[in-house]
Amino acid sequence: MSHLLLALDFGGTKLSAALLQDGESAWRGHRRVFSPSGSRAADDLRAMLQMSRDLLQSHSPAAIGVSFGGPVDFDSGTVRLSHHVPGWEEVPLREQLQQVLGAPAAVDNDANVAALGEQRFGAGKGYRHLLYITVSTGVGGGWILNGQPWRGAEGMAGEIGHTVVDPRGPQCLCGKRGCVERLASGPYMAQDARERLQQEPDKGQILRRLSDGSPDTITGKLLSEAAAAGDALAQEILDRGAWALGTGIGNAANLINPQRVVLGGGVTKSGERWWQRVRDTAATVTLPEVHVEIVPAVLGDDAPLWGAVALAEDLLKHGDS
């Protein structure tokens, strides 16, 4: 009897598919393509099905797990929308995949699925209660409570990026001031750096040099490099981001008391100083009786695929369809 698990990841810009034999720890096969600019939902779905058939050859999968980069109604398996690709509004993705590929499927948003991946196969292995946070172009989160994703009443749980940690802070696109995402995400930190360079001509010499005098090229990554090279302005902006994230984590820990917080995403590669400040801030905010370990994610870009494997495994275990 086949126990092939098909794992699919509809990212904002990439489509990934992988095949695993249940119980094994290495992919049988793995495909990744970039979603061409201008592509629509139907194009992405077609490309994903093509990759799936390539991987499966003549075999049928026993179950399909799917990570989707946007809000999903888990119970019905319906995608609500994609922030990157048009045409995904109210698409019954689970239903479509089940019909075409002939196996039970489960679909959830990427934050929840990545959280599940890290908990089953990565930095959260052996822990039942954790918060996974990706700190990248945005700041998103997913909870695992009692070993399962906690999705909330409307599937919206985990939005740590839009918790407020500094009501007198800068304004976020969401309308509020001082959200974690406004202070700690890569693009917003880069924007702040560009503004500071313009306002303070004496500061940020290393950052100016690294950006070849073109502030437009500053990214979160370049900011980290400048900070590592000793640029005080870059360090200040990264410190503030780390403080905001640490405060958000401390608040979340006081509210829910998880065992671990797992951090992934590009900004987490900002070096030891950044990590130390996140941890120190969180430790200050949590009550003395509340303990939480903050550790780096280990699955990288494959976290959603591994989480999709966990979704597929659970389908087999529970016999859902």
> Is the CB of residue 120 less than 8 Å from the CB of residue 308?
no
Per-residue CA distances from 21 to 260, 278, 310 (Å): 29, 38, 12
> Does residue number 213 form part of the binding site for its own copies (CB under 8 A)?
no
User: Residue from 23, 126, 167, 201 that binds its own copies (CB under 8 A)?
Assistant: 167
Closer residue to its own copies (CB): 93 or 261: 261
Taking the complex as a whole, how short is the minimal distance between the CB of residue 6 and its own copies, in angstroms?
29
Residues 26-85 that bind its own copies (CB under 8 A): 71
Q: Is 2 left (phi over 0), alpha (psi -120 to 50) or beta?
A: beta
Query: Quick check: helix, strand or coil at residue 239?
Result: helix
Among 258, 264, 265, 304, binds its own copies (CB under 8 A): 258
Q: Which of 309, 306, 176 is nearest to 244 (CA)?
A: 176
Quick one: which of 36, 255, 276, 321 contacts its own copies (CB under 8 A)? 255
**Span 215-254, contacts to its own copies by CB under 8 A:** 247, 250-252, 254
The helix (run of H) or strand (run of E) holding residue 14 is strand 14-21
Closest CB to its own copies among residues 179, 206: 179
Contacts of 123 (CB under 8 A, 6+ apart): 260, 262, 295, 296, 297, 298, 299
Question: Would you state the structure tokens that stand for residue 148, as one six-digit string?
Answer: 């399962």
232: helix, strand or coil: helix
State the minimum distance, in angstroms, from the CB of residue 174 to its own copies: 7
| CB contact at 8 A, 109 and 71 | yes
Q: How far is the CB of 90 from its own copies (least distance, A)?
A: 14
Which segment (92-100, 116-124, 148-156, 184-192) binds its own copies by CB under 8 A?
148-156
CB of 68 to its own copies, least distance (A): 15
CB of 88 to its own copies, least distance (A): 16
Give the C-alpha separation, 314 to 320, whole Å. Answer: 8
Nearer to its own copies, 15 or 252 (CB): 252
**Interacting residue with its own copies among 114, 139, 157, 226 (CB under 8 A):** 157
CB of 247 to its own copies, least distance (A): 6
**Strand, coil or helix: 27:** coil
Report 264-303 residues binding its own copies (CB under 8 A): 284-285, 287, 289-291
Tell me phi and psi for residue 248, to 5 degrees. Answer: -60, -40
186-199 vs 220-228: helix axis angle to the nearest 10? 60
What's the min distance (Å) between Cβ of 16 and its own copies? 26
Binding residues for its own copies (CB under 8 A): 71, 129, 141, 143, 145, 150-160, 162-168, 174-176, 247, 250-252, 254-259, 284-285, 287, 289-291
